[in-house]
Amino acid sequence: MDILHDYMVSEDKYYEALCWASTYNRLDMIKFIYEHKLVEYERYEQAWINACCKGNINIVRFIYKMMINHSLKFRIPWVIVCGEGQLEVAKFLHNEKLVEDYFEYSDNAWRNACYGHFEMVVFLHENRLVGNYAATNDLAWGNACESGDVNIVRYLHENKLVKNYYSYFYTMWKNICINDLAEVCNYLYQNELVKEFTPDGWNAAKRCKSFGIMLVYIKNDESLINLCNEEEKEQLRLIADKNRKKSAKSF
């Protein structure tokens, strides 16, 4: 830490170093700044927020001890922690009872978690930390589907956490088709959750060469195979064969 001490001559520079260290998980630098009292304790709030949002749990624990020792109270970035899927940090904040009002921001936390953070979704639901599922179900369901994480899609559906499957459907469906989220598409198809096999979706899938989506469309309407050229038909055959082998292995 000699370089840090030699070149950082003002508290603002030390503060910048503190914020950088908290973002990039440099607990050694945080400890050095703390032990040498190079930044006022009240100014550690941004470092605390950075560490929480980045999932740097060791720094979170260290700064929390400092907060207790110096009777400090910092903001809790609950929505970002959930939205970034920082499960270890979320559990720590929950266990230490640091979130005073989960439900003030729970709608956003839930919606954000549904975008690809399965373990966070389970944690929030099982600990009853979601305020109003009905208020968030449209975007939460859309986020889950568009994330491509079929585990979240399945979890929301099987636990009856979706009140309205279709309020966000057309935008969601087009994005699923463009991004070739075939596993999600297939789940929706098998569970009769597709409101409409839109021409836009087919055209988007064809344009983007989303062959997994095209296969689901063809399952719904076999005549669509006639709209495919020979190269596309070959790709569809290869993917269908791969899916059959994968399915056979699972039994």
Structure tokens at 116: 């690809």
Q: What is the pTM of this model?
A: 0.86
Q: Give the residue extent of every domain in the chain.
A: 1-75, 78-167, 171-251
pLDDT digits (tens, 9 = 90+) for 195-216: 999 999 999 999 999 999 999 9
Q: With 70 as the cut, is the pLDDT of residue 136 above it?
A: no
High-pLDDT (> 70) share of the chain, %: 91
Amino acid 91 reads K
* Residue at token pair 């491509």: 148
pLDDT of residue 7: 46
At 70 the pLDDT is 94
The SS3 of residue 197 is coil
Specify the pLDDT at position 107: 84
Q: For the chain, how many helices (H) and strands (E)?
A: 16, 0
pLDDT in the model for residue 105: 78
Could you tell me if 181 and 151 are in contact, meaning their C-beta atoms sit under 8 angstroms apart? no
Per residue in 160-191, pLDDT tens? 988 888 888 888 999 999 999 999 999 999 99
Q: Are 136 and 125 in contact (CB under 8 A)?
A: no
Q: How far apart are CA 202 and CA 224, in angstroms?
A: 9
